[in-house]
Amino acid sequence: MQRHFLTLLAALTPVLAYAGEPAETKIDAILKSAWAEANIQPATVCNDEQYLRRITLDLAGRIPTVEERTAFLASPDRQAVVERLLSSPEFPL
């Protein structure tokens, strides 16, 4: 359990060093620069159904249930689904 936290902390440490700008801005700039150098186009934004499937697989290790899908598509709050999955017993921390 602690190992996961330390891995996450280590991964975030370089981002935290840029105190002058929000982390998202700096990360976006680094990624855009690397993509341009490699002549790579970033993927387009996914729709709500794709998002639910991807985030559930990433955080819970499974596909969403029919009930979760129905509830999310009726009210697609992406932040709420992430918080719910992070607080679930399926999340490995």
Q: Residue 55: name the closest of 90, 7, 14 by CA.
A: 90
Total domain count, the chain: 2
Give the range of the structural domain holding residue 27, as residue numbers without chain letter: 2-37
Q: What is the mean pLDDT of the chain?
A: 83
The pLDDT value given to residue 79:
96
- The structure's pTM equals 0.61
63 pLDDT higher than 80 = yes
User: Does residue 19 sit within a domain?
Assistant: yes
Q: Tell me, yes or no, whether 73 and 53 share the same domain.
A: yes
User: Does residue 79 sit within a domain?
Assistant: yes
Query: Which residue would you say has higher pLDDT here, 69 or 32?
Result: 69
Q: Residue 46: name the closest of 37, 58, 36 by CA.
A: 58
**DSSP sequence for 17-76:** T-TTS-HHHHHHHHHHHHHHHTT-PPPPPP-HHHHHHHHHHHHHSSPPPHHHHHHHHHS-
68 pLDDT higher than 90 = yes
User: Does residue 31 sit within a domain?
Assistant: yes
Q: Tell me, yes or no, whether 28 and 53 share the same domain.
A: no
Query: Which residue would you say has higher pLDDT here, 19 or 52?
Result: 52
Q: Tell me, yes or no, whether 54 and 73 share the same domain.
A: yes
pLDDT tens sequence across 9-28: 555 555 444 556 676 788 88
**CA–CA gap between residue 17 and residue 15 (Å, rounded):** 5
User: Does residue 92 sit within a domain?
Assistant: no
